[in-house]
Amino acid sequence: MRCLVTSARPYDEQFLSAANHGRHELVFVETALSADTAFIAQGYPAICPFVDDTLDAKTLETIARLGTKLLVLRSTGFNHVDIPAAREVRHHRHAGTRLFPLCGG
């Protein structure tokens, strides 16, 4: 799966690439994900954001519209994710698939 890793630092690329074993196409960018930068999600079915990225309603709606179906969080918590908004996006139909399947509701 093609996955965009946002807010990436050199150590992220080093360790995530080693753990990946070439199974997924990881693309690393230093850009933080937010409503203003969500356009970078175009063409990525998965995004791996960091704790400092903004995953508010506007960002989630935009990345879902651009085709993102999976968020792979690089954080110990998820307080930077607007869970109610993710649930709303999850129930939105796009190309016949449900988005963000792990955001229950």
CATH (domain of 46): 3.40.50.720
In a domain, 47, yes or no: yes
Q: Do the domain assignments include residue 84?
A: yes
Residue 73 lies in a domain: yes
C-alpha of 28 from chain center: 12
**pLDDT greater at residue 11 or residue 91:** 11
Segments forming the whole domain that contains residue 8: 2-98
pLDDT at site 79: 87
Tokens 């993710």 correspond to: 86
Number of compact structural domains in the chain: 1
Whether the pLDDT of residue 43 is over 70: the answer is: yes
Tokens of 6: 């946002």
In whole angstroms, give the CA distance from residue 28 to residue 78. Answer: 21
> Residue 85 domain-assigned?
yes
Please give the average per-residue pLDDT across 62-80, as a whole number.
91
For residues 6 and 32, the answer to whether their CB atoms sit within 8 Å is: yes
Instruction: Give a yes or no: residue 103 inside a domain.
Output: no
Residue 34 lies in a domain: yes
Asked whether residue 105 is assigned to any structural domain, the reply reads no
pTM of the model: 0.84
Residue 104 lies in a domain: no
Round to whole Å and give the CA distance between 70 and 15: 21
List the alpha helices (DSSP H) in 9-95. 10-20, 57-65, 83-91
Give the residue from 33, 50, 55 showing the smallest Cα distance to 42: 33
